[in-house]
Structure 1
Amino acid sequence: MRVRNKPWANDYITDHPHIVIQEPKSFKGKWKEVFGNDHPIHIEVGTGKGQFIAGMAKQNPEVNYIGIELFESVLVNALQKAADDHIPNLKLLNVDAADLTEIFDQKEISRVYLNFSDPWPKKRHEKRRLTYKTFLAKYEEILVKGGEIHFKTDNQGLFEYSLKSLAEYGLKLIYVSLDLHNSDFEDNIMTEYEEKFSGMGQKIYRLEAKCMNK
């Protein structure tokens, strides 16, 4: 993904510490205190411009959401949505997904969303895919027993890889759609990429998997 530099991004993020949490590792095991309630916490790894997670947070006020995005110049788009709409159950983190287990404690998260992740199609880049086994181990560590991973993509190769990777890891597949927008799935919140690709007639693939290894 080509990221357009926004020189003002850092200052804008710094000016909104109530939304973009600074020094998130200091809150490991204390995220319910950040939100001030005992609601379940769902995270999106690779939030992008934030349309999905902002929509989910507004649709489900009984759930707390945390969006994770590495690139500041992308994260500010999600931040603007959160700030403009005053969404109290949404926080954002400007961190790397590789640091998840340093930010969240064991069994602190109820669900992980992976939406339109970089497919890293070359075999030598397999370890960078967010459904590679080392990432699955991180999700498993922070998820409650029975916690879920929800995954969407337009990339058939990545979807097939992810189905195999999750199954081999021992996660239980509980939902698989090979054409989400022509399925009976309800209340789907689309990402910006999803709107773009589905508008071009591309199929959207989706799966849900449950973590039972605890």
Structure 2
Amino acid sequence: MGKDKLRKFAEIDTFDNVYQMEEGKPLKGKWAADHFNNNNPIVLELACGKGEYALQMARLFPEKNFIGVDLKGNRIWRGARTGVDEGIKNLAFLRIQIEDVMDYFAADEVDEIWITFPDPQPQDSREKKRLTFPGFLAKYKTFLKPEGRINLKTDNDGLYLYTVEVVENLGLPYYKKTDQLYNSEFYDEVLSIKTHYERIYLKHNKNINYIQFSLDSTSDQLTI
């Protein structure tokens, strides 16, 4: 491991806005009260990478709490460092395996989920690793409020079409759906937030897909 990565791993241990593995479990059901010291809605960014989306949303919506979730500490470092430097109190990060996310949040604790440009896991053999696989949706259902919405933003057409199929097969309600986000009626202040990689995709004229849906009418097919 390079010296810069080692430095970042050591530094995030000192940040009061980063929780890692087991140390985040005591906050289950208590994130708003014990970390954020308020009663505001909680929004997760899953597979957040550098936390660019969570960071920008925290700036835009001080009346909400944002938590970026990812395993790679050297990436989380960037968003966490900026959050510390700017004194952004409604932003935190959780360094865990996404597969274990249900162990860190209690029933009805989360109001909204964002999944921005995740690894599409295109091989059929890795379908269960896709963050919109029904098994993952079942995990989100354990802590997402019934009316809570899930947002997927991706440049990968295959993952988008797969997610649309999952949503339709499960009979889930969706509210927004487009394979041309920046030419659609849904383009707004939040959806205009661009990650580093999204800017690269757009320079190469890559279309950006987006779907927003909820789990409030989930069938029995959704099992962990």
Residue 149 (structure 2) aligns with: 148
Q: For 1:100 and 1:167, how far apart are their aligned partners in 2?
A: 24
Give the letter aligned to residue 190 of structure 1: K
Matches within 5 A, 1:17-56: 18-22=16-20, 23-33=23-33, 34-56=35-57
RMSD (Å), alpha carbons = 1.7
Runs of 4+ in structure 1 displaced over 6 angstroms? none
Residue 186 (structure 1) aligns with: 188
Secondary structure in 1 aligned to 2:217? Answer: coil
Per the normalisation by structure 2, the TM-score is: 0.90
Residue 131 (structure 1) aligns with: 132
Q: For 1:175 and 1:77, how far apart are their aligned partners in 2?
A: 30
Residues 202 and 212 (structure 1), Cα distance of their counterparts in 2 relative to 1, 3 Å cut: same
Deviation track 1:114-169 (CA, whole Å, cap 9, x = no partner) reads 01110111100110000101101011111111100000000101100011112223
Residue 101 (structure 1) aligns with: 102
Give the letter aligned to residue 199 of structure 1: K
Structure 1 residue 102, shift from structure 2 partner: 0.5
Residue 7 (structure 1) aligns with: 6
Per the normalisation by structure 1, the TM-score is: 0.94
Give the letter aligned to residue 148 of structure 1: R
Structure 1 residue 199, shift from structure 2 partner: 1.8
Q: For 2:3 and 2:205, how far apart are their aligned partners in 1?
A: 27
* Percent identity for Structure 1 against Structure 2: 32
Cα pair 2:173 2:217 within 8 Å, conserved = no
Residues 169 and 141 (structure 1), Cα distance of their counterparts in 2 relative to 1, 3 Å cut: farther
Residues 199 and 145 (structure 1), Cα distance of their counterparts in 2 relative to 1, 3 Å cut: same
Mark the runs of 5 or more structure 2 residues left unpaired by the alignment.
Answer: 219-224
Residue 207 (structure 1) aligns with: 211
Cα pair 2:176 2:211 within 8 Å, conserved = yes
Q: For 1:39 and 1:97, how far apart are their aligned partners in 2?
A: 23
Question: What is the aligned length?
Answer: 211
Cα pair 1:136 1:166 within 8 Å, conserved = no
